[in-house]
Amino acid sequence: MAVLGMDLGGTKLAYAVFTEDGTLIRKNTLSLDKRKGTEVGRLISTNISDIISSSSGEGFKIGSIGISVPGISHAGTGKVWAPNIPGWEDYPLLEEAVSVSGGIPVVIESDRACYIMGEVWQGNAKNCKDAIFLSVGTGIGAGILVNGEILRGSHDVAGSIGWMALNRPFIDDYIACGCFEYYASGAGIASNAKRMIKQGRGYNGVLKNILSENITSYEVFSAYDNGDPVASAVISQCIEFWAMAVANLISLFNPQKIIMGGGVFGPAVSLIPRIREEASRWAQPVSINQVSIEQSALAGDAGVIGAAYMALKKIII
C-alpha cells in the first residue's frame, strides 16, 4: 500500500507518493499560477484523480491521502482557513478531495502539524512522542506533538506561537501579527532592519545600498555574515526572542526535541548553539537538560512528508 502526501503552499502545490516504509515512489511540484478559491481546490482534486488513476499502471495503490494546508484545518467540518489563498476563508477541501478519492480516506492538517510529523517519520524527530517544530518563515508557527498526537486545541488553532507575548508593554505594532512574529519572523527581521537603517545616523553598511523594498531576511543574514552592524543588532535581538520562545516551549511542554525550521532556519541554523545558550538562562532547569534543539532534516520537504505520514497513520492505527 502507498500513501499520497500533498503540500499546498501560498504559491505552489507539491505532492509525493511513498511506500509504507517511507520510500519515495514519485514526486512533483506545481505552480499555483495565481489560482485562487475553487481553482486551487480543483488543482488538488484533479491531481488526486490523476495520481489514483495512473497508480495501478505504475505498480502502486494509494491507501490514504494527506494534505498539508498553509493555515488551519478544522477537523470537525473538513473546512480550511488559509489566509494566503484568496477565497479560502472556510473552504470545503475535505468534501472536494473525498469526492474524487473513490473511498480512499483523506486527512487534512495544518502545515505546522505536518512539519513535525514529517520530522517524526523521516527527519530529526524519529521515535519522539513529545517534540515541537518551530517554523520561522515569513510568519511563525509551531507544530506540537504531545504524547504522539498533534496538539490541536479546542478549535484546531493551537500552536499559534507567533502571538507569544515576550516584550512588554504591548504596542500597537503587535496587533497585526503578534509580538514574537513582529520581532523574530522573516518579515520581522526585514522590517526591523529597515527601521534601524532609517533611524540610525551614520550607518553606511551594505544594507544602505539595497533598495528598501528589496531587503528581505536573506539580505540581512548575508550582511550579518559580513559583520554589518545593523544586521548584527537585528539578529542578536532575534536570538533573544527565539531563545525566550524556545525556553517557554521547554518549560511548558518538557519536550524531547525542538526542531528549528522554516525559511529562516535556513540561514539561522548556525545560530542554534547561541539560541540554546540564551534559552538555558530562561527555561525550567531540569527540562532544558532533557531537550535537544536541532535543525530540520527535511527543509522544504517536511510538509509533503508529514502529510504522507498523517495519511499513513490514518490507515495503520
Q: Give least dist CB 76 to a copy of itself, A.
A: 13
Shortest CA distance to 248 belongs to which of 164, 151, 150?
Answer: 164
CA distance 197 to 204: 9
Q: Between the CA atoms of 253, 256, 262 and 267, what dihedral angle is there, to the nearest 10 degrees?
A: 120
- Binding region for a copy of itself (CB under 8 A): 129-130, 142, 144, 146-147, 149, 151-170, 174-175, 178-179, 240, 243-245, 247-248, 251-256, 278, 281-284, 286-287, 290-291
**What torsion, rounded to 10 degrees, do the Cα atoms 279, 285, 286, 292 define?**
10
* Bridging pattern class, strands 106-110 and 62-69: parallel
**Distance between CA atoms of 184 and 241, rounded to whole angstroms?**
7
Residue closer to a copy of itself, measured from CB, 167 or 295: 167
Q: Bridge partners of 72?
A: 81
Residue type, 256: Q
- Interatomic CA distance for residues 13 and 35, integer angstroms: 11
CB of 199 to a copy of itself, least distance (A): 20
Contact 62, 105 (CB under 8 A): no
Give yes or no for a contact between 279 and 247, defined as CB atoms under 8 angstroms apart.
Answer: yes
Cβ distance to a copy of itself smaller for residue 19 or 287? 287
Neighbouring-strand partners of residue 8: 13
**Closer by beta carbon to a copy of itself, 47 or else 167:** 167
Give the 3-state secondary structure of residue 246. helix
Closer of 39 and 130 to a copy of itself (Cβ): 130
**Minimum separation from the CB atom of position 141 to a copy of itself (A):** 10
Nearer to a copy of itself, 102 or 148 (CB): 148
Smallest gap from Cβ 243 to a copy of itself, in A, equals: 8
The residue among 101 and 185 lying less far from a copy of itself, judged by its C-beta, is 185
Compute the least distance from the CB of residue 304 to a copy of itself, in Å: 25
C-beta of 241: minimal distance to a copy of itself in Å?
A: 8
Shortest gap between Cβ of 310 and a copy of itself (angstroms)? 16
Round to whole Å and give the CA distance between 220 and 253: 32
Nearer to a copy of itself, 170 or 208 (CB): 170
100 within 8 A of 94, measured Cβ to Cβ: no
- Supply 139's cell numbers: 510568519
Minimum distance from residue 253 beta carbon to a copy of itself (Å): 5
Q: Which is nearer to a copy of itself, 48 or 291 (CB)?
A: 291
